[in-house]
C-alpha cells in the first residue's frame, strides 16, 4: 500500500480522472514518465492504460508535429522511461508478445549514453546519507562531482555490476523500443558549464548513433532540468524533440523541445496510475503548493 492509497482510490472513483480524460486529454497528447518497473507492474500498467488511452509512438507524434498534422487519435498517450535501468530489460517479453514493431510501438527509453553498456553507476543512486540527491542536483556540476568523489564515487569508475542496460540487451531490445538520449552521465544541465552541457547533449546522441546505430533525434532532460541555453544546444546538436517534466499535455503546436510530461513514480497501485496519468495529481500538487520535484530551470552558471 502506498502512502496515499486511500486518497488515490477516492480520487479515481470520484470520476474526476474520467472527466479529465474525456474533456481535456481527448484532444491532447499525454506523455508519461516511468523509470524502473518490474515486469508484472509493467504488464498491468500497459493493460490499464491501453484500456483508457490510445498508446502512441513518440516518433509518430514528432512527425505529426513537424507536418502540423492535427489528426491524432483521441486520448493519445506516449510511454517513456528515463535512464535505461537494467531492469528495463525484463520488459522485453511484454514488448515482443505485442508483436508491434519499433516504428509504431509506444515505448521510448531515454539512455544515459555514458552509463549504458558499461559498469558505471548512476550518481544519484550513490548519494545517501550525507547529501540528498536533490541537494547535489542544485550544486554546480564540477562541485557535485568533487563531493561525490569524497564519498568514493566517480562517474568513470566501472563497478562490479552494471546498473544500466548492457550493450547486448540494447541490441536485443532495439527492434521493439525507440531508444533516445538522456545525456551521457545525467547531470543537472543548467548547473553545467557551457562545454560540459554541450558534450553531455551532443556527445550522448553521437555515441548512441555511432556505437549502437540508433537513429537518435530526441532527448530527455535529466530530472526535467533545462535552461534556454540547453534548449539551444539541443537544437544545434540536431535534436528534433526534448521532453521535460513540465506539468501538462501536448498538442501538435507545443514546442517540440519543451514537451510536457507527467511523472507516475513507478507505482504498482492502479488507482494511483489512473489518477496520475490523467494529470490530476500533478495539477493538485501544484495548486496546493507542494514541492516541485522536477523541472528546475533557474539561471545557468556562467
- Residues at the interface with Zn ion (CB under 5 A): 82-83, 222
Name the nearest CA neighbour of 175 among 91, 82, 103, 89: 103
Smallest gap from residue 82 Cβ to Zn ion (A) = 4
Rounded CA separation 2/265 (Å): 11
Q: How far apart are alpha carbons 282 and 80 in whole angstroms? A: 17
Closest to Zn ion by CB, 11 vs 107, is: 107
Strand partners, 30: 77
* Of residues 76 and 80, the one with the C-beta less far from Zn ion: 80
Min dist. Cβ of residue 220 to Zn ion (A) = 7
Q: How far is the CB of 30 from Zn ion (least distance, A)?
A: 19
Measured between alpha carbons, how far is 276 from 211 in angstroms, rounded to an integer? 36
Measured from the CB of residue 182, what is the shortest distance to Zn ion in angstroms? 6
Of residues 82 and 282, the one with the C-beta less far from Zn ion: 82
Neighbours of 145 (CB within 10 A): 19
68 vs 291 by CB, closer to Zn ion: 291
- Which of residues 266 and 270 has its CB atom nearest to Zn ion in the complex? 266
User: Can you read off the three cell numbers belonging to residue 5?
Assistant: 492509497
Secondary structure of 100-144 as H, E, C letters: CCCCCCCEEEEECCCCCCCCCCCHHHCCCCCCCHHHHHCCCHHHH
Residue 248, phi-psi category: left (phi > 0), alpha (psi -120 to 50), beta (remainder): left
82 or 230, CB closer to Zn ion?
Answer: 82
Least Å distance between CB 42 and Zn ion?
A: 18
CA distances from 62 to 57, 218, 243, 270 (A): 9, 9, 11, 29
- Residue 129 preceded by cis peptide, ω within 30: yes
CB of 107 to Zn ion, least distance (A): 16
Amino acid at each position: 500500500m502506498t502512502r496515499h492509497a486511500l486518497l488515490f482510490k477516492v480520487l479515481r472513483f470520484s470520476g474526476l480522472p474520467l472527466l479529465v480524460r474525456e474533456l481535456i486529454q481527448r484532444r491532447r497528447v499525454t506523455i508519461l514518465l516511468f523509470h524502473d518497473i518490474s515486469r508484472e507492474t509493467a504488464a498491468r500498467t500497459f493493460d490499464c492504460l491501453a484500456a483508457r488511452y490510445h498508446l502512441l509512438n513518440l516518433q509518430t507524434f514528432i512527425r505529426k508535429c513537424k507536418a502540423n498534422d492535427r489528426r491524432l487519435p483521441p486520448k493519445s498517450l506516449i510511454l517513456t522511461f528515463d535512464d535505461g535501468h537494467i531492469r528495463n530489460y525484463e520488459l522485453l517479453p511484454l514488448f515482443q508478445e505485442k508483436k508491434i514493431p519499433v516504428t509504431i510501438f509506444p515505448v521510448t527509453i531515454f539512455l544515459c549514453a555514458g552509463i549504458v553498456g558499461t559498469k558505471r553507476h548512476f550518481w544519484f543512486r550513490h548519494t545517501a546519507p550525507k547529501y540528498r540527491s536533490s541537494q547535489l542536483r542544485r550544486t554546480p556540476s564540477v562541485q557535485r562531482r568533487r563531493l561525490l568523489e569524497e564519498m568514493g564515487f566517480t562517474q568513470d569508475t566501472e563497478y562490479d555490476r552494471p546498473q544500466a542496460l548492457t550493450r547486448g540487451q540494447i541490441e536485443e531490445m532495439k527492434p521493439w523500443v525507440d531508444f533516445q538520449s538522456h545525456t551521457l552521465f545525467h547531470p543537472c544541465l543548467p548547473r553545467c558549464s557551457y562545454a560540459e552541457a554541450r558534450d553531455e547533449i551532443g556527445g550522448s546522441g553521437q555515441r548512441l548513433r555511432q556505437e549502437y546505430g540508433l537513429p537518435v533525434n530526441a532527448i530527455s532532460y535529466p530530472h526535467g532540468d533545462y535552461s534556454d541555453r540547453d534548449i539551444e544546444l539541443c537544437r544545434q546538436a540536431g535534436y528534433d524533440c526534448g521532453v521535460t517534466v513540465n506539468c501538462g499535455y501536448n498538442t501538435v503546436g507545443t514546442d517540440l523541445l519543451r514537451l510536457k510530461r507527467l511523472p507516475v513514480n513507478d507505482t504498482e497501485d492502479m488507482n494511483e496510475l489512473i489518477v496520475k496519468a490523467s494529470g490530476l495529481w500533478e495539477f493538485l500538487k501544484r495548486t496546493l503548493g507542494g514541492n516541485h520535484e522536477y523541472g528546475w530551470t533557474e539561471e545557468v552558471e556562467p
